[in-house]
Protein backbone atom coordinates (compact mmCIF):
# COMPACT_ATOMS: atom_id res chain seq x y z
CA UNK A 1 0.00 0.00 0.00
CA UNK A 2 1.55 3.36 -1.02
CA UNK A 3 2.50 5.72 1.78
CA UNK A 4 0.66 9.09 2.19
CA UNK A 5 3.78 10.92 1.04
CA UNK A 6 3.96 8.92 -2.19
CA UNK A 7 0.43 10.06 -3.04
CA UNK A 8 1.58 13.71 -3.09
CA UNK A 9 2.56 14.74 -6.57
CA UNK A 10 6.00 16.18 -7.28
CA UNK A 11 4.59 19.57 -8.46
CA UNK A 12 2.79 20.00 -5.14
CA UNK A 13 5.97 19.18 -3.19
CA UNK A 14 7.96 21.64 -5.28
CA UNK A 15 5.32 24.30 -4.66
CA UNK A 16 5.51 23.76 -0.91
CA UNK A 17 9.33 23.92 -0.93
CA UNK A 18 9.34 27.10 -3.02
CA UNK A 19 6.80 28.72 -0.68
CA UNK A 20 8.93 27.84 2.38
CA UNK A 21 12.03 29.21 0.64
CA UNK A 22 10.23 32.44 -0.24
CA UNK A 23 9.11 32.97 3.36
CA UNK A 24 12.63 32.25 4.65
CA UNK A 25 14.13 34.68 2.14
CA UNK A 26 11.67 37.45 3.02
CA UNK A 27 12.28 36.83 6.71
CA UNK A 28 16.02 37.23 6.16
CA UNK A 29 15.46 40.50 4.28
CA UNK A 30 13.30 41.91 7.09
CA UNK A 31 15.58 40.87 9.93
CA UNK A 32 18.83 42.08 8.35
CA UNK A 33 17.38 45.36 7.05
CA UNK A 34 15.74 46.21 10.38
CA UNK A 35 18.87 45.27 12.32
CA UNK A 36 21.22 47.38 10.20
CA UNK A 37 18.80 50.32 9.78
CA UNK A 38 21.06 52.03 7.28
CA UNK A 39 24.57 51.98 5.84
CA UNK A 40 27.44 51.34 8.23
CA UNK A 41 27.35 53.94 11.04
CA UNK A 42 24.74 56.15 9.33
CA UNK A 43 21.34 55.05 10.63
CA UNK A 44 17.84 55.82 9.39
CA UNK A 45 15.64 57.81 11.81
CA UNK A 46 18.73 59.13 13.60
CA UNK A 47 19.41 62.87 13.97
CA UNK A 48 21.69 64.28 11.30
CA UNK A 49 23.42 66.40 13.92
CA UNK A 50 24.86 63.21 15.43
CA UNK A 51 27.34 63.00 12.54
CA UNK A 52 30.27 65.40 12.27
CA UNK A 53 31.32 64.22 8.79
CA UNK A 54 28.22 65.48 6.92
CA UNK A 55 27.85 68.79 5.06
CA UNK A 56 24.60 70.50 4.08
CA UNK A 57 24.35 70.31 0.29
CA UNK A 58 23.86 73.58 -1.55
CA UNK A 59 22.95 73.51 -5.24
CA UNK A 60 26.56 72.76 -6.20
CA UNK A 61 26.81 70.08 -3.54
CA UNK A 62 24.10 68.02 -5.23
CA UNK A 63 26.44 66.99 -8.06
CA UNK A 64 28.61 63.88 -8.20
CA UNK A 65 31.06 62.34 -10.68
CA UNK A 66 31.00 58.83 -12.14
CA UNK A 67 34.31 57.51 -13.49
CA UNK A 68 34.56 54.42 -15.68
CA UNK A 69 36.59 52.86 -18.49
CA UNK A 70 35.62 53.66 -22.07
CA UNK A 71 34.26 50.99 -24.38
CA UNK A 72 37.81 50.04 -25.44
CA UNK A 73 38.82 49.60 -21.80
CA UNK A 74 41.75 52.00 -22.32
CA UNK A 75 40.83 55.47 -21.03
CA UNK A 76 38.98 56.70 -17.94
CA UNK A 77 35.82 58.69 -18.65
CA UNK A 78 34.33 61.06 -16.07
CA UNK A 79 30.72 62.22 -16.20
CA UNK A 80 29.16 64.75 -13.81
CA UNK A 81 25.63 63.96 -12.69
CA UNK A 82 23.04 65.75 -10.55
CA UNK A 83 21.35 64.16 -7.55
CA UNK A 84 17.64 64.13 -8.38
CA UNK A 85 14.40 63.20 -6.61
CA UNK A 86 15.01 65.61 -3.74
CA UNK A 87 12.34 67.69 -2.01
CA UNK A 88 14.47 70.55 -0.75
CA UNK A 89 11.77 73.04 -1.76
CA UNK A 90 10.13 72.16 1.56
CA UNK A 91 11.53 73.89 4.63
CA UNK A 92 11.33 70.63 6.56
CA UNK A 93 13.56 68.73 4.09
CA UNK A 94 17.35 69.01 3.72
CA UNK A 95 20.03 67.02 1.91
CA UNK A 96 23.55 66.44 3.22
CA UNK A 97 26.53 64.58 1.79
CA UNK A 98 29.38 62.65 3.39
CA UNK A 99 32.57 64.71 3.34
CA UNK A 100 35.08 63.46 0.72
CA UNK A 101 37.82 61.33 2.23
CA UNK A 102 35.78 60.27 5.27
CA UNK A 103 37.20 57.02 6.61
CA UNK A 104 35.06 53.93 5.93
CA UNK A 105 32.95 55.78 3.33
CA UNK A 106 35.25 55.73 0.29
CA UNK A 107 34.87 52.18 -0.99
CA UNK A 108 32.39 49.34 -1.04
CA UNK A 109 33.08 45.69 -1.89
CA UNK A 110 33.26 45.63 -5.67
CA UNK A 111 33.53 49.38 -6.27
CA UNK A 112 34.36 52.93 -5.24
CA UNK A 113 31.85 55.22 -3.53
CA UNK A 114 31.54 58.35 -5.65
CA UNK A 115 29.27 60.21 -3.21
CA UNK A 116 26.78 59.54 -0.41
CA UNK A 117 23.71 61.74 0.07
CA UNK A 118 21.68 61.91 3.27
CA UNK A 119 18.07 63.14 3.00
CA UNK A 120 16.35 64.41 6.15
CA UNK A 121 12.98 65.67 7.32
CA UNK A 122 13.04 67.81 10.44
CA UNK A 123 16.69 66.72 10.91
CA UNK A 124 15.78 63.01 10.97
CA UNK A 125 17.39 60.80 8.31
CA UNK A 126 14.78 59.18 6.08
CA UNK A 127 16.92 58.24 3.06
CA UNK A 128 20.55 57.27 2.43
CA UNK A 129 21.64 57.30 -1.23
CA UNK A 130 24.95 55.83 -2.37
CA UNK A 131 26.47 56.22 -5.83
CA UNK A 132 29.03 53.49 -6.42
CA UNK A 133 31.36 53.24 -9.41
CA UNK A 134 31.49 49.69 -10.77
CA UNK A 135 31.10 48.07 -14.18
CA UNK A 136 30.83 44.54 -12.76
CA UNK A 137 28.08 42.65 -10.93
CA UNK A 138 30.11 42.15 -7.74
CA UNK A 139 28.12 44.70 -5.71
CA UNK A 140 24.68 43.11 -6.26
CA UNK A 141 26.16 39.68 -5.54
CA UNK A 142 27.52 40.96 -2.22
CA UNK A 143 24.15 42.50 -1.31
CA UNK A 144 22.37 39.23 -2.14
CA UNK A 145 24.74 37.46 0.25
CA UNK A 146 23.97 39.95 3.02
CA UNK A 147 20.22 40.53 2.51
CA UNK A 148 19.12 37.38 0.73
CA UNK A 149 17.35 37.04 -2.59
CA UNK A 150 15.63 40.34 -3.54
CA UNK A 151 11.85 40.60 -3.80
CA UNK A 152 12.26 41.85 -7.36
CA UNK A 153 15.16 41.93 -9.82
CA UNK A 154 15.90 42.44 -13.51
CA UNK A 155 18.98 41.67 -15.57
CA UNK A 156 20.84 44.18 -17.70
CA UNK A 157 20.10 44.14 -21.42
CA UNK A 158 20.33 46.69 -24.19
CA UNK A 159 17.78 49.37 -23.36
CA UNK A 160 17.20 47.96 -19.87
CA UNK A 161 19.02 48.08 -16.55
CA UNK A 162 19.64 46.17 -13.34
CA UNK A 163 17.20 46.74 -10.50
CA UNK A 164 17.04 44.92 -7.17
CA UNK A 165 14.51 45.52 -4.38
CA UNK A 166 14.67 44.27 -0.79
CA UNK A 167 12.00 45.11 1.78
CA UNK A 168 11.55 44.98 5.54
CA UNK A 169 8.71 46.07 7.78
CA UNK A 170 10.00 49.62 8.23
CA UNK A 171 12.96 49.77 5.86
CA UNK A 172 13.44 49.45 2.11
CA UNK A 173 16.54 48.93 -0.01
CA UNK A 174 16.69 49.50 -3.77
CA UNK A 175 19.70 49.08 -6.03
CA UNK A 176 19.54 50.40 -9.59
CA UNK A 177 22.20 50.40 -12.29
CA UNK A 178 23.63 53.79 -13.31
CA UNK A 179 24.14 53.93 -17.08
CA UNK A 180 26.44 56.03 -19.22
CA UNK A 181 25.07 59.09 -21.02
CA UNK A 182 24.07 56.95 -24.02
CA UNK A 183 22.20 54.66 -21.60
CA UNK A 184 23.90 51.64 -23.08
CA UNK A 185 26.48 50.50 -20.51
CA UNK A 186 26.39 50.07 -16.75
CA UNK A 187 28.93 52.36 -15.06
CA UNK A 188 27.83 52.02 -11.45
CA UNK A 189 24.97 51.58 -9.00
CA UNK A 190 22.55 53.80 -7.12
CA UNK A 191 21.84 52.22 -3.73
CA UNK A 192 19.02 53.69 -1.63
CA UNK A 193 18.06 52.85 1.96
CA UNK A 194 14.66 54.28 2.97
CA UNK A 195 12.66 54.56 6.18
CA UNK A 196 9.01 54.11 5.17
CA UNK A 197 7.47 56.08 8.04
CA UNK A 198 9.57 59.21 7.51
CA UNK A 199 9.23 58.93 3.75
CA UNK A 200 5.45 59.03 4.19
CA UNK A 201 5.86 62.27 6.14
CA UNK A 202 7.65 63.75 3.12
CA UNK A 203 4.87 62.52 0.85
CA UNK A 204 2.34 64.18 3.13
CA UNK A 205 4.12 67.50 2.49
CA UNK A 206 3.59 66.90 -1.23
CA UNK A 207 -0.10 66.12 -0.68
CA UNK A 208 -0.63 69.31 1.34
CA UNK A 209 1.04 71.34 -1.40
CA UNK A 210 -1.21 69.80 -4.07
CA UNK A 211 -4.29 70.50 -1.97
CA UNK A 212 -3.26 74.15 -1.56
CA UNK A 213 -2.77 74.53 -5.31
CA UNK A 214 -6.13 72.91 -5.97
CA UNK A 215 -7.82 75.26 -3.51
CA UNK A 216 -6.18 78.27 -5.17
CA UNK A 217 -7.61 77.16 -8.51
CA UNK A 218 -11.06 76.73 -6.98
CA UNK A 219 -10.89 80.18 -5.40
CA UNK A 220 -10.29 81.76 -8.80
CA UNK A 221 -13.62 80.52 -10.17
Is residue 15, in this structure, part of any structural domain at all? no
Low-confidence ranges of the chain (pLDDT < 70): 1-30, 155-161
User: What is the per-residue pLDDT for 162?
Assistant: 85
90 Cβ neighbours under 8 A, 6+ residues apart:
202, 205, 209
Q: How many domains does the chain have?
A: 1
Distance CA 11, CA 34 (A): 34
Is residue 2, in this structure, part of any structural domain at all? no
Tell me the per-residue pLDDT of 132-165, one tens digit each, with 9 for 90 and over.
999 888 999 999 999 998 888 876 555 456 899 9
User: What is the per-residue pLDDT for 13?
Assistant: 45
Is residue 102, in this structure, part of any structural domain at all? yes
User: What is the per-residue pLDDT for 10?
Assistant: 53
Is residue 59, in this structure, part of any structural domain at all? yes
Range of the domain at 193: 25-219
pTM: 0.81
Is residue 17, in this structure, part of any structural domain at all? no
Is residue 14, in this structure, part of any structural domain at all? no
Q: Could you please report the per-residue DSSP string of 77-131?
A: EEEEEE--S--TTSTTEEEEEEPTT-TTSSEETTEEEEEEEEEEETTEEEEEEEE
Burial degree of 42 (CB within 10 A; 0-12, 13-18, 19+): buried
Is residue 18, in this structure, part of any structural domain at all? no
Is residue 20, in this structure, part of any structural domain at all? no
Handedness of CA 32, 168, 151, 183 (dihedral sign): negative
User: What is the per-residue pLDDT for 123?
Assistant: 97
Amino acid sequence: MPSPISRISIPILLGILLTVFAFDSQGQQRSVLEKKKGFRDIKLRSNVEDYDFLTLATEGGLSYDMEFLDIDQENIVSETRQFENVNTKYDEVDVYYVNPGTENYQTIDGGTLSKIFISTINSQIYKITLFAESQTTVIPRIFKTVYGHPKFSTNVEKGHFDRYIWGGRHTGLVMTAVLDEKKYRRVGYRIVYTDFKLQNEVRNLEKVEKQKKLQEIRDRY
